[in-house]
Amino acid sequence: MAKRKKKSQSFGKMSFDDILNLAPEKFRELMKAEETAYYHELKDMGDSLYPGYNFEEKVRFWEAVLNRQMRRQAESGLDEYAIYSPSWYVAIKRIEPAFDEIMDKVFEQPGFHEWSRQEYFKRIQHTRS
């Protein structure tokens, strides 16, 4: 008899009560799986004009988006660097191959001086020479 492959669980198939009753470890596991699936399917930057942006416009785009997201996290009492993960980085690099160069410039912008480049690299698990 052939073994059935165990289906992975996702939030989309669970009731609100089922989610509330999850053990914390299982909740974190499902959150990570959902995040990975979301980033795997990411196709664009959410801005229809982005593909036509020049390098400097892309720097301004990322500075604004990431600064806003990090500030929201911090103002909510959350970890501002939690927006960064290896799966997020892989997805962004797939869509924007020049992302490392863009981020080099983003970290030079006055509005980004308070954020740590080292912490960013740690969160995306990326090392630079």
Q: Quick one: the chain helix, strand, coil %, rounded to 5? A: 65, 0, 35
- pTM reported for the whole predicted model: 0.67
pLDDT for residue 65 is more than 50: yes
Q: Give 111's pLDDT tier (boundaries 50, 70, 90).
A: confident
Query: Rounded distance, CA 102 to CA 63, Å?
Result: 9
State mean pLDDT over 40-57.
77
pLDDT confidence of residue 12: 65
Q: What percent of the chain has pLDDT over 90?
A: 33
Cα–Cα nearest to 39, from 91, 96, 95, 85: 91
Instruction: List the chain domain ranges.
Output: 54-124
Q: What percent of the chain has pLDDT over 70?
A: 71
- Sequence letter at residue 76: S
